[in-house]
């Protein structure tokens, strides 16, 4: 089977057009809307962008606007997300190309416990059957980032456990405007972003083109081209139509292989390319259509149609820890005198070639009504989603082979249907209650065309399928204690379906891999006191009846798949504080932002694993990569003549890399306790007065700390050493 994207993209395009043709049935009116009104594309925001909206949400929310992102001057989105309480970002390669994000102690591997969206549209490979993030939206294109962790998650899905992360891109401007932003840094890093847009009559448009390249940043060199465009049409007095398209192309030398413990102890090879012929290519096509129809002032319907394909081909060189392994290249890393302390490179490769297709349609209805003679707001909707995955394993006979023998070939398909409803009751001017329900059904099938059975590669036709159903209630409240001060709380059921490849074995047996389920609780308070002080304090509890534990290579496992991990409990407190002293400084600005998380994430109930030939009960052990303490803070100084200085600090407490909470590092570098670390970044910028020109210079890891960020996927990875870069932005 040829894994190309043309057929899949054509099918998705046909489906999108067919579904779009049904949308005008909602509207029979024609006319012209005020041409300067800007709509969101798609107009489905998770939590909104104003404090007034935040006050009504029964759950912990966080929003970072474009000004905050500019202050951080990120080289990757990881730096931005660390500003959110309760979030732990695990770096993989240093450039943030693959997002590994943990919310409230959940496993960070490929962000599979989180629903990640861009402008309200999913971005995972397959949102239900394979929710990993091998593609991450580029932070350079974003005008904001929002994260919802409370009971409002039931309006989204299928993942309703860790939270909903939504990347927000800018809408077309009211008048012609654009900018060119150029950034350069160490490792031959170069980035350029060109943006232009305008509104002509009742049509608005914007276009972005991002190019990024580097010889080596951290562990990876890359070449990325990212093109996106938005077009909106104010079709009538009551309706708007919007289109968004995107093309993403990446080629990088990403690898799973990391340092052995002996290499780390010896130093001098922290960022060596151990497998320089490893190559990852990603090509993604995406499109979404939005039809927004306002029947009355109180009744609105928004229908989104979306489709995307992602091709992810990854050539990785084989290696062994056995000094007697056959077919060696002669390249050896580590210390051969220590058992397991060396890696022997082999003259062969494994090509993991995968293509994913996704198409969906989702109508949403928003209705303001007066049930029980009080103000109510009803959100109701449904979604149908179709997804398909093609996977091949191609074994090459050289360390840089571009092709080889096809040893695995399969197709996985899934169809999902969900219905969701949430009503908000304004009981009094101070008290708001919300109650909702989401129903998820996912039918899936695995069709194995070729695989290895009893050591022999065999053509076959193994077809098996199953289904999973989730009933997900949720509710919450907000109570306005005083002007700008709100208490909120909520409870909802968390849900995530099992991955298709893990729920059906290679022989076609549907194993009992349960859906991931939890009960999530929150209670908090948020306060906004003029411009001087704002804070949010939230206590949380995630109580899992069954948490899925990954054992895939990306999570550091020896094989592939997931296992039922049993009961786990994640509890703690998040706090965020914003102080603004600008009103006292006569035209100067001084702002302090702090956030912190105290977390205890543990296994609950008896569960036995083997350690040193003995059975060990891990009841009470910490879950992997869940530090007990997280903190982030920034100090911002701005002068009236356009000069600014930003200092940003990050602290991460010690953490464990495995369920056994192993303290002593293993020789191969894949297990051991990770020491705590803290970092300091600095950024200075100058917005030249009376121009549209901005300059900035940044230093990441100012103190040049050497620290371990992960033992995944296959060895020790370090955080970036001191890194310098500069940028220029010209508006027009």
- Only one residue has tokens 């200075």, namely 684
Mean pLDDT across 291-304 = 94
Beta-strand relationship, 279-294 and 608-611 = unpaired
CA-CA-CA-CA torsion sign (401, 403, 406, 412)? positive
Q: What is the pLDDT of residue 151?
A: 84
State the pLDDT confidence band at 53, using cuts at 50, 70 and 90: very low
> pLDDT tens digit string along 607-633?
888 888 889 998 999 999 999 999 999
Peptide bond into 144 cis (omega under 30): no
Give the residue, 513 or 569, on which the prediction is more confident: 569
Which of 278, 364, 370 lies closest to 319 in space, CA to CA? 278
Please indicate, yes or no, if residue 207 is contained in any of the structural domains. Answer: yes
What is the 3-state composition of the chain as percent helix, strand, coil, each rounded to the nearest 5?
A: 10, 55, 35
Mean pLDDT across 399-423 = 94
Q: What one-character-per-residue DSSP string does 90-118 give? A: --SSSS-SS--EEETT---GGGTTSEEEE
| Separation CA 248–CA 309 (nearest Å) | 10
Q: Give the global pTM.
A: 0.90
Mean pLDDT across 324-351 = 95
Find residue 300's DSSP bridge partners.
Answer: 294, 366
Mean pLDDT across 348-373 = 95
Q: What is the pLDDT of residue 452?
A: 86
Mean pLDDT across 645-649 = 96
What mean pLDDT, rounded, does the chain reach?
A: 87
Number of domains within the chain: 1
Please indicate, yes or no, if residue 467 is contained in any of the structural domains. Answer: no
Cβ burial, residue 52 (10 Å; 0-12/13-18/19+): exposed
Q: What is the pLDDT of residue 289?
A: 95
Q: What is the pLDDT of residue 13?
A: 41
Mean pLDDT across 631-639 = 96
CA-CA-CA-CA torsion sign (148, 152, 156, 162)? positive
Q: What is the pLDDT of residue 512?
A: 58
The SS3 assignment for 10 reads helix
> pLDDT tens digit string along 224-283?
999 999 999 998 889 999 999 999 999 999 999 999 999 999 999 999 999 999 999 999
Q: Is the pLDDT of residue 371 over 50?
A: yes
> pLDDT tens digit string along 96-129?
999 999 999 988 888 988 899 999 999 999 999 9
Q: What is the pLDDT of residue 199?
A: 95
List phi, psi (to 5°) of 70.
Answer: -60, -40
Please indicate, yes or no, if residue 469 is contained in any of the structural domains. Answer: no
> DSSP character for 712?
T
Lowest mean pLDDT among 193-202, 539-548, 581-590: 539-548
Helix (H) or strand (E) segment spanning residue 639? none
State the pLDDT confidence band at 361, using cuts at 50, 70 and 90: very high
Q: What is the pLDDT of residue 274?
A: 96
Q: What is the pLDDT of residue 47?
A: 57
| Torsion angle, alpha carbons of 7, 9, 15, 20, to 10 | -150
Residue 260 near residue 334, CB atoms below 8 Å: yes
- Percent of the chain residues past pLDDT 70, beyond the cut: 88
Residue 322 near residue 366, CB atoms below 8 Å: no
What is the 3-class SS of 419-466, one letter each residue? EEEEEEEECCCCEEEEEEEEEEEEEEEEEEEEEEECCEEEEEEEEEEE
Which of 398, 310, 392, 421 lies closest to 356 in space, CA to CA? 310
> DSSP character for 530?
T
State the pLDDT confidence band at 205, using cuts at 50, 70 and 90: very high
Residue 68 near residue 83, CB atoms below 8 Å: yes
Q: What is the pLDDT of residue 508?
A: 66
Mean pLDDT across 690-696 = 95
Contacts of residues 13-18 at CB distance under 8 Å and 24 or more positions apart, as own/partner, are 13/287, 13/307, 15/307, 15/359, 16/287, 16/289, 16/305, 16/306, 16/307, 16/359
Q: What is the pLDDT of residue 564?
A: 53
Q: Is the pLDDT of residue 410 over 70?
A: yes
| Separation CA 288–CA 359 (nearest Å) | 10
Lowest mean pLDDT among 401-405, 500-504, 579-583, 634-638: 500-504
Which residues have a Cβ under 8 Å from the Cβ of 355 and sit 6 or more positions away?
3, 4, 5, 8, 309, 310, 311, 312, 389, 390
List phi, psi (to 5°) of 331.
Answer: -85, 125
What is the 3-class SS of 208-258, one letter each residue? EEEEEEEEEECCEEEEEEEEEEEEEECCCCCEEEEEEEEEEEEEECCCCEC
| Separation CA 109–CA 90 (nearest Å) | 8
Q: Is the pLDDT of residue 34 over 50?
A: no
Q: Is the pLDDT of residue 481 over 50?
A: yes
| Separation CA 391–CA 461 (nearest Å) | 15
Residue 302 near residue 2, CB atoms below 8 Å: no
Provide the 10 A C-beta neighbour count for residue 471: 11
Q: What is the pLDDT of residue 513?
A: 63
Q: What is the pLDDT of residue 52?
A: 42
Please indicate, yes or no, if residue 465 is contained in any of the structural domains. Answer: no
Lowest mean pLDDT among 189-203, 382-396, 552-566: 552-566
Which of 366, 370, 234, 243 lies closest to 295 in space, CA to CA? 366
Domain that holds residue 47: 6-460+475-731
Mean pLDDT across 664-681 = 95
| Separation CA 476–CA 488 (nearest Å) | 7
Q: What is the pLDDT of residue 546?
A: 64
CA-CA-CA-CA torsion sign (8, 303, 472, 519)? positive
The CATH number given to whatever domain includes residue 381 is: 2.40.170.20
- Only one residue has tokens 């007095």, namely 237
The SS3 assignment for 67 reads helix
Please indicate, yes or no, if residue 656 is contained in any of the structural domains. Answer: yes
State the pLDDT confidence band at 57, using cuts at 50, 70 and 90: low
Please indicate, yes or no, if residue 468 is contained in any of the structural domains. Answer: no
Mean pLDDT across 670-683 = 96
Find residue 383's DSSP bridge partners.
Answer: 418
State the pLDDT confidence band at 465, using cuts at 50, 70 and 90: confident
List phi, psi (to 5°) of 265.
Answer: -65, -35
List phi, psi (to 5°) of 536.
Answer: -140, 135
Please indicate, yes or no, if residue 273 is contained in any of the structural domains. Answer: yes
> pLDDT tens digit string along 144-190?
999 988 888 888 889 888 889 999 999 999 999 999 999 999 999 99
Q: What is the pLDDT of residue 157?
A: 85
Instruction: Find the largest Cα–Cα distance for the chain.
Output: 80
Please indicate, yes or no, if residue 635 is contained in any of the structural domains. Answer: yes
| Torsion angle, alpha carbons of 261, 263, 269, 272, to 10 | -70
Q: Is the pLDDT of residue 87 over 90?
A: yes
């Amino acid at each position: 089977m040829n894994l190309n994207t043309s057929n899949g993209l054509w099918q998705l395009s046909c489906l999108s057009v067919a579904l779009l043709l049904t949308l005008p049935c909602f509207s029979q009116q024609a006319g012209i809307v005020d041409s300067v009104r800007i709509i969101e594309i798609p107009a489905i925001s998770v939590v909104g962008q104003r404090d007034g909206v935040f006050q009504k949400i029964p759950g912990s929310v966080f929003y970072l606007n474009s000004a905050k992102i500019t202050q951080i001057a990120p080289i990757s989105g990881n730096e931005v997300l660390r500003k959110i309480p309760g979030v732990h970002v695990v770096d993989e390669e240093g450039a943030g190309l693959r997002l590994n994000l943990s919310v409230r102690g959940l496993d960070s591997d490929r962000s599979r416990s989180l629903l990640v969206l861009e402008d309200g549209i999913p971005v995972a490979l397959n949102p239900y059957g394979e929710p990993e993030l091998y593609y991450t939206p580029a932070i350079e294109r974003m005008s904001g980032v929002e994260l919802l962790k409370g009971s409002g998650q039931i309006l989204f899905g299928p993942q309703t456990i860790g939270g909903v992360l939504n990347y927000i891109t800018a809408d077309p401007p009211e008048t012609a405007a654009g900018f060119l932003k150029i950034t350069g840094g160490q490792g031959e890093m170069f980035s350029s972003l060109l943006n232009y847009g305008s509104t002509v009559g009742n049509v608005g448009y914007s276009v972005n083109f991002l190019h990024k390249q580097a010889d080596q940043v951290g562990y990876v060199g890359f070449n990325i081209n990212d093109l996106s465009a938005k077009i909106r049409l104010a079709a009538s007095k009551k309706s708007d139509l919007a289109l968004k398209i995107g093309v993403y192309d990446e080629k990088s030398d990403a690898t799973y292989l990391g340092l052995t413990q002996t290499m780390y102890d010896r130093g001098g090879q922290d960022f060596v390319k151990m497998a320089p012929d490893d190559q990852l290519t990603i090509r993604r096509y995406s499109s979404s259509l939005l039809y927004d129809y306002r029947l009355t002032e109180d009744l609105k319907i928004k229908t989104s149609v979306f489709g995307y394909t992602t091709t992810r081909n990854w050539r990785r060189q084989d290696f062994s820890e056995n000094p007697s392994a056959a077919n060696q290249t002669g390249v050896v890393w580590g210390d051969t005198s220590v058992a397991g302390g060396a890696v022997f490179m082999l003259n062969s490769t494994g090509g993991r070639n995968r293509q994913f297709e996704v198409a969906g349609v989702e109508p949403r209805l928003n209705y303001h009504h007066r049930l029980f003679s009080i103000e109510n707001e009803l959100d109701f909707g449904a979604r149908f989603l179709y997804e398909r995955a093609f996977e091949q394993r191609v074994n090459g006979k050289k360390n840089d082979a571009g092709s080889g023998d096809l040893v695995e070939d399969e197709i996985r398909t899934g169809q999902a249907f969900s219905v969701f409803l949430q009503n908000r009751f304004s009981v009094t001017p101070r008290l708001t209650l919300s109650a909702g329900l989401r129903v998820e059904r996912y039918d899936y099938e695995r069709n194995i065309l070729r695989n290895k059975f009893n050591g022999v590669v065999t053509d076959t036709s193994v077809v098996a399928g199953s289904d999973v159903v989730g009933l997900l209630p949720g509710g919450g409240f907000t109570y306005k204690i005083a002007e700008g001060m709100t208490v909120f709380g909520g409870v909802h059921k968390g849900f995530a379906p099992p991955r298709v490849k893990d729920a059906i074995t290679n022989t076609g047996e549907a194993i009992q891999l349960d859906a991931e389920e939890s009960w999530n609780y929150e209670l908090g308070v948020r306060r906004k006191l003029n411009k001087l002080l704002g804070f949010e304090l939230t206590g949380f509890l995630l109580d899992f009846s069954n948490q899925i534990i990954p054992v895939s290579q990306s999570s550091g496992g020896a094989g592939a798949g997931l296992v039922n991990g049993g009961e786990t409990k994640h509890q703690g407190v998040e706090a965020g504080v914003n102080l603004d002293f600008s009103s006292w400084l006569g035209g100067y600005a001084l702002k302090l932002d702090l956030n912190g998380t105290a977390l205890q994430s543990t296994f609950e109930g008896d569960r036995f694993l083997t350690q040193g030939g003995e059975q060990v009960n891990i009841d009470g052990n910490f879950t992997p990569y869940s530090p007990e303490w997280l903190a982030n803070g920034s100090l911002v100084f701005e002068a009236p003549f356009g000069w600014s200085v930003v200092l940003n600090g990050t602290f991460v407490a010690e953490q464990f890399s495995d369920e056994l909470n192993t303290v002593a590092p293993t020789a191969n570098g894949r297990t051991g306790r990770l020491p705590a670390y803290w970092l300091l970044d600095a950024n200075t910028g100058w917005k030249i007065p009376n121009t549209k020109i901005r300059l900035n210079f940044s230093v990441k890891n100012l103190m040049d700390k050497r620290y371990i960020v992960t033992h995944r996927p296959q060895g020790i990875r370090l955080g970036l050493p001191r890194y310098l870069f500069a940028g220029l932005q010209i508006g027009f």
